[in-house]
Structure 1
Amino acid sequence: MTRPARRSLSIVGASAAALLALSACSSSSGTSDASGSTGSGATATSGASSSATSAAKVDGTVTVFAAASLKESFTALGQEFEKAHPGAKVSFNFGGSDSLAASITGGAPADVFAAASPKTMKIVSDAGDTAAAPVTFVRNQLEIATLPGNPDRIASLRDLTRSGLKVVLCDKTVPCGAAAQKALKASGLALTPVSYEQDVKSALTKVELKEADAAVVYRTDVKAAGEKVQGVEFPESAKAVNDYPIALLKDAPNAAAAQAFIDLVKSPEGQRALTGAGFLKP
């Protein structure tokens, strides 16, 4: 039986404890200014940092291409990373995983790729652009985002097919859109949205701006939006859970710092921050 989810809390509150743990476990007490507009780097744990710095000093800029749904959690981790490594800075490029993969295979300089599905990561690995086998670091599940208070009384995926309801979906080529199509197929439902959006943030924004009544997005994005939307869980989402792989890229300009960032993401402290943001353990 489907049921409306409780109103999502802000990601800042949800992951505060995890980020405090990250700060406490950092290998360095130094800080550096983090760029809030583009995101920053990630905090390394004492174990990850010491192992990384034993091989090479962690400094300079590390460029991370990451799925749009990772924006809030990676940005928070990034700020902590810069505190742990005063000489390092992380520059993020967030967007649809398919577009990011195309940029990487097209020669865009980057150190790390974190995708929202194995399929989009495979585009990069098949092109020979990964330095090692990608590793799944989190998983994510879909949720329906509605207007605050759920005025249309949406309680199920089937409700989105009601006449007159304005629903948006992610484009079928991006992971959140592919997952939505998989859930719809599993339910035997047909849904024609008012628009297909290029990434999950764009889909969610349509609801936040009241340009749509509902959107099928990730539950992490509903949580990050706080009071701007309300989330509705639906059981079919369990049949369309996305694995998120991360990989060091073959021609990474700053491989040492990139590996330190990946080590953080996979560390217990990094995992606590990510699950605090609503992601599932791999």
Structure 2
Amino acid sequence: MTTRPTHRRTLQPAVGGTALLLALSACSSSAGASSAGEVKGTVTVFAAASLKESFTELGEEFEAAHPGTKVTFSFGGSDALAASITSGAPADVFAAASPKTMQIVTDAKSAAGEPATFVRNQLEIAVVPGNPEDVATLKDLTKSGLKVALCAKEVPCGAAAQKALDGAGLRLTPVSYEQDVKSALAKVQLKEVDASVVYKTDVQAAAGKVEGVEFPESAGAVNDYPIVLLKDAPNASAAEAFIALVRSGQGRKVLTEAGFLTP
């Protein structure tokens, strides 16, 4: 499947105090910018849909640390983003939800270096608030009459869900395959389906709008998230500084608070 990544720009007020500005400036220096003054202009980041909330927050912090910079995001299914990059879409940074989708970019020699895993993510079942269908296990998703949405199999969340189902010896035919994890989650939020297999981070981000059901099979289908500077990055210095922020202690704090796991 092919999707158009959506372009979003942080609009919320930037946050961060003096200590944060100093810390992030240090990050940019270690990433290859010899001074904070060299970090300027627009950074274009292509990132997996599940990173939307945490990367938006980090984008705000980056802009606060480097006045005059802008971080522009394209969030979507990692496979579609990778396809856009290899087709020549201008971008500085790629953060994927699996090594397999990152490999599309590295195999095409579109990466400037070796991708680095910065977080991991685990699956969870999202259900309608109150869990009216009493979904308690992965097997419950196969109950007759239960409407389930999954991510498409080529999308990292879909591949992980299929791995968990295969590991449990279960067969499931969803009512729809969605092109990224946020679309799968939205199906539950809109009560168009009874349940969906998404990431724990997405359930946490939608607190109050869905409920989460953990299942043990998810431990065997955890996704690593790699990030890389792209070869033809229009703003390589600022891109390196943004990657440094993501991988810094402050970046890890934002990501783990969002529900991501450390590598």
TM-score scaled by length of structure 1: 0.85
Matched residue count = 248
Pick the aligned partner of 1:95 from 55, 76, 98.
76
- Given the alignment of the two structures, is residue 27 of structure 1 paired with residue 51 of structure 2, yes or no? no
- Given the alignment of the two structures, is residue 45 of structure 1 paired with residue 24 of structure 2, yes or no? yes
1:32 matched to which residue of 2?
A: none
Q: Aligned equivalents of 1:247 and 1:203: distance in 2?
A: 26
Pick the aligned partner of 2:139 from 139, 158, 165.
158
Q: Aligned equivalents of 1:244 and 1:141: distance in 2?
A: 11
Query: Which amino acid in the other structure matches residue 20 of structure 2?
Result: S
1:143 matched to which residue of 2?
A: 124
Q: 1:63 to 1:159 in 2, by over 3 A?
A: same
Query: How far off is 1:24 after superposition?
Result: 5.4
1:84 matched to which residue of 2?
A: 65
Q: Aligned equivalents of 2:33 and 2:18: distance in 1?
A: 18
1:134 matched to which residue of 2?
A: 115
Query: How far off is 1:54 after superposition?
Result: 1.4
2:6 matched to which residue of 1?
A: none
Q: Aligned equivalents of 1:130 and 1:54: distance in 2?
A: 22
- Given the alignment of the two structures, is residue 274 of structure 1 paired with residue 251 of structure 2, yes or no? no
Alpha-carbon deviations, 1:74-118, whole Å to 9, x = none?
001111111111111000000000000000000000000000000
- Given the alignment of the two structures, is residue 257 of structure 1 paired with residue 238 of structure 2, yes or no? yes
1:197 matched to which residue of 2?
A: 178
Query: How far off is 1:211 after superposition?
Result: 0.2
- Secondary structure of the residue that 2:208 maps to in structure 1? helix
Q: Is the 8 A contact 1:27 1:50 kept in 2?
A: no
Structure 2 alignment gaps of length 5 or more: 1-13
1:206 matched to which residue of 2?
A: 187
- Secondary structure of the residue that 1:45 maps to in structure 2? helix
- Secondary structure of the residue that 2:20 maps to in structure 1? coil
Query: Which amino acid in the other structure matches residue 26 of structure 1?
Result: L
- Given the alignment of the two structures, is residue 73 of structure 1 paired with residue 54 of structure 2, yes or no? yes
Q: Aligned equivalents of 1:258 and 1:67: distance in 2?
A: 17
Query: Which amino acid in the other structure matches residue 45 of structure 1?
Result: L
Q: Aligned equivalents of 1:125 and 1:179: distance in 2?
A: 21
Alpha-carbon deviations, 1:142-184, whole Å to 9, x = none?
0000000111111000000000000000000000000000000
Query: How far off is 1:23 after superposition?
Result: 4.5
Alpha-carbon deviations, 1:201-241, whole Å to 9, x = none?
00000000000000000000000001000000000000000
Q: Is the 8 A contact 1:220 1:279 kept in 2?
A: yes
Query: Which amino acid in the other structure matches residue 267 of structure 1?
Result: S
Pick the aligned partner of 1:54 from 28, 34, 42.
34
After the TM superposition, which segments of 4 or more aligned residues of structure 1 sit over 2 Å from their partners? Answer: 22-28, 44-47, 49-53
Query: How far off is 1:26 after superposition?
Result: 2.4
Structure 1 alignment gaps of length 5 or more: 1-18, 29-43
In the TM superposition, 1:115-134 aligns within 5 A as 115-134=96-115
Instruction: Give the superposed CA RMSD.
Output: 1.5
Q: Aligned equivalents of 2:65 and 2:102: distance in 1?
A: 29
Q: Is the 8 A contact 1:101 1:121 kept in 2?
A: yes
Query: Which amino acid in the other structure matches residue 270 of structure 1?
Result: G
Q: Aligned equivalents of 1:86 and 1:45: distance in 2?
A: 12
1:223 matched to which residue of 2?
A: 204
Q: Is the 8 A contact 2:63 2:70 kept in 1?
A: yes
TM-score scaled by length of structure 2: 0.91
Q: Please say which of residues 56-65 and 105-114 is displaced more in the overlay.
A: 56-65
Q: Aligned equivalents of 2:177 and 2:38: distance in 1?
A: 44
Q: Aligned equivalents of 2:142 and 2:214: distance in 1?
A: 16
Percent identity, aligned pairs only? 71
Alpha-carbon deviations, 1:34-85, whole Å to 9, x = none?
xxxxxxxxxx624213435416700100100000000000001111111111
